[in-house]
Amino acid sequence: MSLLVISPGKDPEAWVKALKEQHPGLNIYVYPEDHDKEEVEFALTWKHPRGIFKNYPNLKVIASMGAGVDHITSDEELPENIKITKVVDDRLEEDMGTFVLSLILAHQRNLLHYRESQLNEKWEPVPYTRNNQIKVGILGIGNLGQRVAHKLLQNDFQVIGFSRNKKEIENVESFAGEDELDEFLEQSNILVNMLPLTPNTEKILDKELFEKLPKGAYLINVARGEHLVEQDLLAKVDDGHLSGAALDVFWEEPIRDEHPFWKHPKIRVTPHIASVTHPKSVVPQIIENYERLQDGEPLKNEVKRDIGY
Ligand code: NDP
């Protein structure tokens, strides 16, 4: 049994090093080096070339190198019986929590405005709203979203969450299912998108949704670029319904030259860095699942393939 690492566009060295350190006996191949496809039962991957998994007759598990699995589930030629796992990692959650908190504080305390004023050598105080007067709506309150909620509650923000199933989270009002989406949106002064990308959530951040948010609402998208209809966001920021947006993920990464987001005064762009997987902290759960597979035990952090996350 062998493990195949596939991460085109990303240097796999740190992953291989961490895997070898934590499981010296492991037989590892790095795609596309020469390897026996029949031997591979476990693949660790980020953005694999489409369609390749059908060439591995004994492949049983595909492990994502990150929390998102849309780069795997979107492969239309994925064999049906293969199990998919995702990363659940305390460090990843902490980084997401502090990053979203930073974006919210920067927005609420008008830091972009003051940077602009400074560059223009202008002394321009503007009023601000106190944290406890701001309600943050977390769209997709799962592993990462709950850590974001926790950080915000520690900083006196009001927090509400939306998910498929109702949640019991202390001090967070839970909304679930399509029937409760409008009520959730109507109250969200700041909307933080933390949904997984699935056929149900693609392009969910559109004009219709933005219009349900209160006037002056702010959008933070740290989930996936494909959740957002970019033209709709630009229209709603430019007509003043939204006060702005902070975007960490995009349809095309990096965004193309001349993209209207680059120089937009109310849109903050970061290069998909909200929360970055560190191989050393994630490899133990990969090895654990590799061993679970060998021992015929249930995997940890398995994705439900029928719902796509
Ligand atoms: P989880 O699977 O733990 O949480 C997803 C949440 O979304 C759950 O609460 C789920 O509801 C809810 N959800 C899913 N589909 C729907 C739907 N159709 N309607 C309403 N709610 C829905 O995911 P994570 O928190 O681990 O990760 C979230 C996403 O963050 C990843 O998929 C990835 O895209 C992104 N990400 C971005 C990073 C970055 O650096 N920018 C880094 C890491 C991840 P329920 O709980 O009821 O099932």
Distance 141 CA to ligand 1 centre (A): 7
SS3 readout for the chain: CEEEEECCCCCCHHHHHHHHHHCCCCCEEECCCCCCHHHEEEEEECCCCCCHHHHCCCCCEEEECCCCCHHHHCCCCCCCCCEEECCCCHHHHHHHHHHHHHHHHHHHCCHHHHHHHHHCCCCCCCCCCCHHHCEEEEECCCHHHHHHHHHHHHCCCEEEEEECCCCCECCEEEEECHHHHHHHHHHCCEEEECCCCCCCCCCCECHHHHHHCCCCEEEEECCCHHHECHHHHHHHHHCCCEEEEEECCCCCCCCCCCCCCCCCCCEEECCCCCCCCCHHHHHHHHHHHHHHHHHCCCCCCECCCCCCC
User: Which pLDDT belongs to residue 201?
Assistant: 98
Band of the pLDDT at 29, cuts 50, 70, 90?
very high
Q: pLDDT tens, 104-115?
A: 999 999 999 999
pLDDT value for 56: 97
- Per-residue pLDDT of 174-199, as tens digits, reads 999 999 999 999 999 999 999 999 99
Tokens 């995997």 belong to: 299
Residue 307 CA, closest ligand 1 atom number = 15
pLDDT value at position 157? 98
Q: What is the mean pLDDT of residues 83-87?
A: 98
123 pLDDT band, cuts 50/70/90, is very high
The best mutation among 71, 139, 147, 163 to test binding of ligand 1, ranked by most ligand atoms within 8 Å of the C-beta, falls on 163
- The predicted model gives 222-242 an average pLDDT of 98
83 — pLDDT class (breaks 50, 70, 90)? very high
Cα atoms found within 13 Å of the Cα of residue 89, Cβ hemisphere only? 24
Confidence class for position 86, pLDDT limits 50, 70, 90: very high
Q: Ligand 1 centre and the CA of 20: distance in Å?
A: 31
Say how many Å lie between the CA of residue 154 and the centre of ligand 1.
22
Residue nearest to atom 33 of ligand 1 (CA): 68
- What residues are labeled active site? 224, 272
Neighbouring residues of 85: CB distance < 8 A, sequence distance ≥ 6: 61, 62, 63, 64, 289, 299, 300, 301, 302, 303
Q: How many CB atoms lie within 10 A of CB 171?
A: 10
Q: Which amino acid is at 198?
A: T
Closest atom of ligand 1 relative to the 87 alpha carbon: 26
The 10s digit of each residue's pLDDT in 200-211 is 999 999 999 999
Nearest residue (by CA) to ligand 1, atom 9, is 142
Q: Region 237-249: what's the mean pLDDT?
A: 98
Task: Please report the atom of ligand 1 found closest to the CA of residue 161.
Answer: 9
Band of the pLDDT at 99, cuts 50, 70, 90?
very high
**Which atom of ligand 1 lies nearest, measured to the CA of 309?**
2
The tally of CA atoms less than 13 A away on the side-chain side of residue 153 is 15
Res. 9: pLDDT tops 90: no
Nearest Cα residue to atom 5 of ligand 1: 142
How far does the centroid of ligand 1 lie from the alpha carbon of residue 121, in Å? 42
Q: Whose CA is nearest to atom 43 of ligand 1?
A: 67
Which residue has the least CA distance to atom 1 on ligand 1? 142
Distance of CA 51 from the midpoint of ligand 1 (Å): 25
Site residues for ligand 1, CB cut-off 6 Å? 66-68, 140-145, 162-165, 194-198, 200-201, 222-224, 248-249, 272, 274-275, 309
Q: Please give the share of the chain, as a percent, with pLDDT higher than 90.
A: 99
Give distance in angstroms: CA of 197 to centre of ligand 1: 8
Query: What integer best gives the mean pLDDT of the chain?
Result: 97
Percentage of the residues of the chain whose pLDDT score is greater than 70: 100
pLDDT band at 265 (very low <50, low <70, confident <90, very high): very high
Q: Ligand 1: which of 91, 138, 144 to mutate, judged by most atoms within 8 Å of the beta carbon?
A: 144
* Residue 10 in this model has a pLDDT that exceeds 90: no
Q: What is the mean pLDDT of residues 122-144?
A: 98
Q: Ligand 1 centroid to 143 CA: how many Å?
A: 7
Sheet with 172-176: list strands edge to edge: 172-176, 158-163, 135-139, 190-193, 217-221, 242-247, 267-269
Minimal-distance CA residue to ligand 1 atom 36: 223
